[in-house]
Structure 1
Amino acid sequence: MTETPAPPDSGEVRINALEPWPDTVEWKPVSPSLIRVELVRLAIWLVILLAALITGWLLVGHWLFGAGVGLVLLFGAWRAFVIGRAVRAWGYAERERDLLVRHGLLVRRLSIVPYARMQFVDVTAGPLERSFNLATVQLHTAAAASDAKVPGLRPAEASRLRDRLTALGADRAEGL
């Protein structure tokens, strides 16, 4: 990995934007339970799509409905395989001045959210997430494109992260 030197006296190493998973930080993974949540979401959508296609096939009898069933099953199998890898690609790292959030397999994304730019932090947990004892931390900034989220956190970790980010954001904003 190539790193660019930071300005003198900053005490920070800058990260090369072309290498989205920098080795200079300690990445914290999301909970593996997020895999099960995503598999349940996938199963719900597959059941709905398959029920509609099979009903159409039984009522109309056209071969395209059968082909649709096959394609949905093929897509479901592929997506189930990819979900595990996609969840393991999620991670976050807390640094002195900012929070790094990474995710993505084919298109890797690294979001760097400076604490001073955060406007507020949400912790959400839908019914499915709550049933697996998970929550999502959503960071909001003035620029909508720079919002970041960290899904698949245990509620205690989500609360800790929310409180820490809120405190650091308030401290950094006072210095502006």
Structure 2
Amino acid sequence: MFRVANESEPNGSVRFDVPHVGEWQRVAPRYVVVEIVGSILFGLVLCGAATLVWLLANQTWALYVGLAIAVITIVSVAFEPRRVRSIGYQLRDDDLLFRRGIMFQRFVAVPYGRMQLVDITRGPVARWLGLADLKFVTAAAATGVEIPGLDDADAESLRDRLVQLAESRRAGL
């Protein structure tokens, strides 16, 4: 599946070559809204907790923690569009290849014959935007993959396709 290239990159790191089968399918651009709302809500809850500690317990350090959380939330929100663009998947002959991440990239290849569960979930903001997350699980816990931010129709058709492929591959085992 993946092979390490013989040549090192100019900076000395080793590069993974992923065979190019087709175009990467990307998540819906509206998924950025889901991630931004989640980041802002999480940051507001943490800032609120730090503010309560500062006001009620008169702990000055909590004010600085709250300010740091606010800055981290703002930086996180600024990177959300790029992070969402890094999410993609490919349906290959024998497996589904999933990728995500900017600095720490993750590639997961899930063989169709090993899929045990294909599930669609929708959170409140995603449901409002007409988006869904497609999750599939194998016997190995490390290969559980979730493709977030798919259009509802795309998630349902991909689920049906993956179930069909998984059944045909398991029958051949």
Hey, which of these two has a bigger chunk of strand by percent?
Answer: 2
Number of residue pairs matched? 163
**Where does residue 82 of structure 2 map in the other structure?**
85
Match of 2:51 among 50, 54, 62: 54
User: What is aligned with 2:26?
Assistant: 29
Residue among 120, 123, 136 paired with 1:139: 136
Q: Which amino acid aligns with 2:160?
A: D
Q: Give unpaired runs (5+ residues) of structure 1.
A: 1-13
Distance in 2 between residues matched to 1:23 and 1:71, nearest whole Å: 42
Structure 1 partner of 2:12: none
- Structure 1 letter corresponding to 2:103: L
TM-score normalised according to structure 2 size: 0.87
- 1:111 is paired with a residue of what secondary structure? strand
**C-alpha displacement at 1:72, in angstroms?**
0.9
- After the TM superposition, list the runs of 4 or more consecutive aligned residues in structure 1 that deviate by more than 6 angstroms: none
Task: Tell me the alpha carbon deviations over residues 151-174 of structure 1, each in whole angstroms, 9 at most, x when there is no partner.
Answer: 000010000100000001111111
User: Does the 8 Å CA contact 1:89/1:102 hold for their aligned counterparts?
Assistant: yes
| Partner SS state of residue 105, structure 1 | coil
Question: Percent identity over the alignment?
Answer: 36
Aligned to 1:38: 35
1:104 aligns with 2:101: yes
- On the 8 A contact 1:15/1:22 being kept in 2, the answer is yes
Q: Deviations over 1:94-142 (max 9, x none)?
A: 1111111000112111110111111121111122221221101111111
Q: TM-score, normalised by structure 1?
A: 0.85
Q: Which runs of 5+ in 2 are unaligned?
A: 5-14
